[in-house]
Structure 1
Amino acid sequence: MITQAQLNALYDAEVVDQAGEKVGPLDRVYLDNATGDPAWVSVRTGWFAGRRVFCPLANAEVVGTQIRVPYPVAMIKDAPEIPADEHLTEDEEEQLYDYYAVDEGPAPSA
């Protein structure tokens, strides 16, 4: 599991997929409300990083100055459109858990 200290050291880190292909720069880290551990990141994608998508940090790892997530880049870029604001609603969280097939947990917050 990636710790908050590791993420703090990776300001503007690149998020890469399971094969090392670039997804985009790290935008925000969302913490698990119960544990305070990093649970999700939003990633800037598209031209001029105009779109932000969520990706779970479950089974992610820090490799140098990159965060490697265990999903293909196409899957991440096709994630549901959810605003990257202060907090995920329960409905938004459920959409993401279903999309990534991640076990549900407490709602993360920015």
Structure 2
Amino acid sequence: MGITQEQLDQYFDAEVVDQDGERVGSLGEVYVDNRTGHPAWATVRTGWFAGRKVFVPLATAELRDGRVLVPYSTEMIKRAPDIAPDGHLSEDNEQDLYLYYAVDDGPAPSA
């Protein structure tokens, strides 16, 4: 089943770290799959102050020791497609992210 919303609630604003244990940023908004209601994507706030918000897939993430671990480099995450986190991912945007991160796509767009 993967990471649950209840688990993520405990990780609000947690540090997100890359495959090498380096800090990427802070966990932001969580986007759930429309069909299953399970968390599918999250934004990561990078940089100083507000910074840029980029999407990472939660299917490949782990929650450990109060941090969110993702199996990607910081540079890859920062180069992710520039998609505005406006509360909903279109099917096209979601497909772009699935292709970029090379993860299997889900059954429905996230919101």
TM-score range, shorter chain: over 0.9
Which has the larger displacement, 41-50 or 5-14?
Answer: 41-50
Contact 1:15–1:67 (CA<8 Å) still a contact in 2?
yes
Give the match for residue 78 of structure 1.
79
- 1:85 Cα deviation after fit: 0.8
Give the match for residue 64 of structure 1.
65
Give the match for residue 21 of structure 1.
22
- Following the alignment from structure 1 to structure 2, what is the Cα–Cα distance between the partners of residues 71 and 87? 23
- Following the alignment from structure 2 to structure 1, what is the Cα–Cα distance between the partners of residues 6 and 59? 16
Give the match for residue 3 of structure 1.
4
Give the match for residue 95 of structure 1.
96
Gaps (5+ residues) in structure 1? none
Deviations 1:41-99 (A, max 9, x none): 00101222320000001121111110101111110011010001110011111111111
How much is the aligned-residue C-alpha RMSD, in angstroms? 1.0
- 1:2 Cα deviation after fit: 1.3
What one-letter code is carried by the residue in structure 2 that aligns with 1:107? P
- 1:33 Cα deviation after fit: 0.9
Give the match for residue 107 of structure 1.
109
Give TM-score, length-normalised by structure 2.
Answer: 0.93
Gaps (5+ residues) in structure 2? none
